[in-house]
Each structure stands twice: as C-alpha cells, then as structure tokens.
C-alpha cells in the first residue's frame, strides 16, 4: 500500500482527468477550441467562490452569505462606474464593500461566538435585503468597455485574463494556507479550537482573517462576473452558493474542519465544470444534470467516508 499511496486529491485529479478524456471521446464538440475557450471563461468565477468557501469550511464553519457578499461587492463597483468613476476606484470600492461584509461576519462569529451557519444565514438575508433596497431589484448595467476586458479579455492573446486572476489567487491561497503562520493556525483551529486557544493563539484574530479572506475572494469573483455579464443584480451568482459548498466538500475538505487542500477544491471545480458542460452539450435536461452531480457528490463522499474509516482502523491495528 505504501508505495502506491495516492492522496485523496490525486485520486480526485485522476477522476477529473478520466472525466475529461471520457467526455472528449464521447461528446462531439467537447474538445472544440470554442468549447474549451468558453469553459476557461466559466471556471474562474465559480472557482474563486469555492476557494473562499473552502477556507471557511477548514475552520469548521460555513459562509452562506458568500454569494450575496459577491453580489453586494458587484453592486458597489457597478454604482461607482455608473456614477462616472473610473474602473480602478470602482474595483477598490467593490473590494471594500465585500471586506466590510466579511468583517461583519467575522466579528459576530469570532468575538460574539455565534455559530457561523446562523450568522451567515442571517447576513445572507441581510445583505440580500440591503442590495434590494439599493437596487429595487433592478439590474445595474452599462460599464465602460475596458471593464469588460477583465472577464472577457485575453491575457497575451491566449489565456482568458480571468483565468490568470484565478490562477494567481489559487497560488496565494495555497501559499497562505500551507506556508504562513495564519494558515497553520486555520488548520489547527479547525481540528481543535480549544487546544489552539490554549497553545496561545488568538482564535478570534485567525477567524476574523478567514472571513475577510473569503469575502476578498468573493469580491474578486464578483468583479469577474460583473465584467463578464456587464450587469449586476441581487441574485448574481446565487446558484453558486450550494455548489461551492459541494465543490469544497467533494474536494476532500472536512466539513467538520481541520482538513482541506486547494488542489482538491480545484479538481472538484473542474469535475463540476466538465460534467455540467458535457451534459449540456449532449442535450441532457438541466434538472437531470443536477441529479447527476448530486449522485456523484454522494458517491464520492461515501467513498471518502469508508476509506477514512479503513485507514483509521489500520492505524489502530498498527498501534
């Protein structure tokens, strides 16, 4: 066993690869350059939200308000632009809006100690209400042309610029989680918050930064989405909410906290992307696509559960 030990993530990577190969063999048009291109454009916005969700889940929490934070940040940026400000200030304001939301979540979770699922459920409704009050439910649109390059343009003429942004944030997230003190503490907090507290870590500070970071990723995703769709509305990206939880968990992140790898989430996002796109190309009804994705999720989670159990038993037997 030890020589062919594959981590959960690599197995998932192989599954993603297998799905990709399978779909390109059996689905006409899957491998066409146009389709590959459109997949590269579809990936970043969802991937960023999934990464943000993963970081929160590693602490044993969940951020149900993440897509509304994204929409709120998009509204902030959109309002700036439609009122004649430049792209750069608009993006800054968008990020500030999101960070303010994240800070709010962070304070209530870390200082007051309310369970994250309750806090973010509340803030989800709260942010939705605030956006509705600002926009009256209407879409805000009409951004400068240069802005649309962020989501629709190519970097050096080949790679979608949004994909480059996604790539950069993937690396940053990986570095922060694995190499920084904060990252180590995030994992520590996720496995045992009491032990972390008693080893002299300021838990509230760690948590605060987790929610801030998740909202930062949501803001980046929002900028890509608003630029890609040239418009923002209260429910922008709302379909990503539960999908992002699913992607993080499919990627091996432990829903109770303490474990989760960037690569796993990326593979999971890829798997979702391939399957959704492939089934759409085959003309499968969209409600059936949801069924397939749900089934895969449950299958992988059950598999993970049993393999965890097995390895734990082995470890016990060995000791």
Partner 1 sequence: MRKLWLSLVVVLGLILAAGCVSEESAGSGGDEEADGAEETDNTSEEGNTEEAESDDELEIAVVPKLVGIPYFNASETGAEQAGEDLGVNVEYTGPTEADAAAQVKVIEDLISQDVDAIAVAPNDPASVEPVLKKAKENDIHVMDWDTPADKELVDLSVKQVDDEEFGRHMAEKLVEAMGTEEGEIAILTGGLSAANLNSWIDAAQSELDENYPDIEIVSDKIPTDEKQQVAYQKTLDLLKSYPDLKGVLAVSTPAPLGAAQAVQEKGLQDEVSVVGSALPTDSEPFLEDGSLDTAVLWNPEQLGYLTVALGKMLAEGEMPEDGQEIEGVGEITVEDDGKTVIMAPPQDYTKENASEFDF
Q: Which two tokens stand for residue 135?
A: 């926009």
Q: Which residues bind partner 1 (CB under 8 A)?
A: 28-30, 32-35, 37-38, 41-42, 45, 87, 136-139, 141-142, 145-146, 148-150, 152-158, 161, 164-165, 168, 171-172, 175-176, 179-181, 225, 228-231, 233, 235-240, 276-277, 280-281, 283, 285-287, 290
Q: Which two tokens stand for residue 115?
A: 């369970």
CB neighbours of 108 closer than 8 A, spacing ≥ 6? 114, 119, 123
> Considering the complex, what minimum distance in angstroms separates the CB of residue 274 from partner 1?
12
Q: Which is nearer to partner 1, 88 or 317 (CB)?
A: 88
Cα-Cα end-to-end distance for the chain:
17
> Considering the complex, what minimum distance in angstroms separates the CB of residue 319 from partner 1?
35
**How many Cα atoms occupy the beta-carbon half-sphere of 99 within 13 Å?**
9
> Considering the complex, what minimum distance in angstroms separates the CB of residue 255 from partner 1?
23
Q: Which is nearer to partner 1, 135 or 204 (CB)?
A: 135
Q: Which is nearer to partner 1, 109 or 246 (CB)?
A: 246
Q: Which is nearer to partner 1, 171 or 310 (CB)?
A: 171
Q: Which of 9, 1, 6, 305 is nearest to 178 (CA)?
A: 9
Q: Which is nearer to partner 1, 8 or 185 (CB)?
A: 185
Bridge partners (DSSP) listed for residue 159:
155
Burial class (CB in 10 A: 0-12, 13-18, 19+), 95: buried
Q: Which two tokens stand for residue 153?
A: 């343009």
């Amino acid at each position: 066993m030890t020589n062919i030990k594959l981590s959960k993530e690599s197995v998932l990577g192989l599954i993603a690869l297998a799905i990709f190969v399978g779909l390109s063999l059996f689905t006409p048009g899957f491998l066409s350059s146009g389709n590959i291109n459109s997949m590269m454009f579809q990936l970043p916005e969802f991937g960023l939200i999934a990464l943000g969700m993963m970081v929160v889940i590693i602490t044993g929490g969940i951020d149900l308000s993440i897509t509304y934070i994204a929409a709120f940040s998009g509204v902030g940026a959109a309002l700036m632009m439609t009122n004649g400000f430049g792209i750069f200030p608009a993006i800054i304001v968008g990020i500030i809006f999101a960070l303010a939301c994240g800070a709010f979540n962070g304070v209530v979770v870390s200082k007051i100690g309310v369970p994250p699922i309750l806090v973010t459920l509340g803030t989800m409704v709260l942010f939705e209400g605030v956006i509705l009050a600002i926009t009256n439910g209407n879409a805000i649109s009409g951004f400068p042309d240069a802005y649309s390059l962020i989501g629709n343009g190519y970097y050096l003429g080949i790679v979608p610029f949004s994909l480059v942004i996604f790539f950069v944030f993937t690396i940053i997230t990986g570095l922060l989680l694995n190499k920084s003190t904060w990252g180590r503490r995030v994992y520590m907090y996720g496995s045992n918050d009491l032990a972390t507290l008693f080893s002299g870590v300021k838990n509230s500070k760690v948590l605060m930064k987790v929610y801030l970071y998740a909202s930062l990723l949501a803001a980046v995703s929002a900028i890509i989405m608003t630029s890609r769709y040239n418009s923002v509305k209260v429910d922008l990206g709302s379909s990503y909410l539960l999908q992002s939880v699913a992607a993080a968990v499919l990627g091996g992140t432990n829903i109770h906290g303490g474990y989760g790898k960037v690569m796993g989430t990326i593979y999971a996002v890829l798997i979702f992307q391939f399957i959704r796109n492939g089934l759409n190309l085959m003309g499968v009804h969209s409600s059936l696509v949801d069924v397939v994705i749900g089934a895969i999720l449950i299958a992988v989670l059950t598999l993970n559960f049993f393999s965890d159990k097995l390895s734990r038993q082995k470890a016990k037997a060995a000791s």
